[in-house]
Amino acid sequence: MYKPLPQEVTIKESRIDGLGLFTTEPIEKEHVFGITHIQHDEFQHGYIRTPLGGFINHSKKPNCVLIHDGEGYMPHMKLKSTEFLREGEELTLKYNLYGIQS
């Protein structure tokens, strides 16, 4: 069965902007949540965003980074925590418009 988000994440209203991604359980540092972006030249900014990539908000003090993976046929990025996250904490990245910094 297709699940657009990993079970440890949900979408809720964000204090940062609109909707955001939030943990549903405590998350260890360096936990990989899954694929956020798939590289494809025909899409805006050269990437297709998954639901995991479409709802993450910006922070000047992010608690996640993107890691590049999948060289060759289907290059993509995955979301990884950079610190321990409590249940209910919003996941964030540092980016400028669409210049995501990993």
Q: Which two tokens stand for residue 60?
A: 């000047």
**Residue 43 identity (one-letter amino acid):** F
**Number of domains within the chain:** 1
Whether residue 2 has pLDDT greater than 80: no
pLDDT at 102 > cutoff 80: no
Q: Are 93 and 78 spatial neighbours (Cβ–Cβ below 8 Å)?
A: no
The vertex-76 CA angle with 60 and 23, nearest 5°, equals 50
**Cα 87 to Cα 102: distance, rounded to the nearest angstrom:** 24
Residue 102 within a domain: no
Q: pLDDT per residue over 85-99, tens digit each?
A: 999 999 999 875 455
Nearest alpha-carbon partner for 9 in 61, 38, 37, 51: 51
pLDDT at 20: 94
In a domain, 33, yes or no: yes
The domain of 43 spans 9-96
pLDDT at 24: 97
Question: For the segment 12-69, what is each residue's pLDDT rounded down to a tens digit?
Answer: 999 998 999 999 999 999 999 998 888 877 877 777 888 898 899 989 999 999 888 8
The predicted pLDDT at position 13 comes to 96
Note the pLDDT tens digit of each residue in 11-22: 999 999 899 999
Q: Which two tokens stand for residue 86?
A: 């409590």
- What is the pLDDT, as a whole number, of residue 97? 46
Domain with residue 59: its CATH number is 2.170.270.10
Domain assignment present for 72: yes
In a domain, 91, yes or no: yes
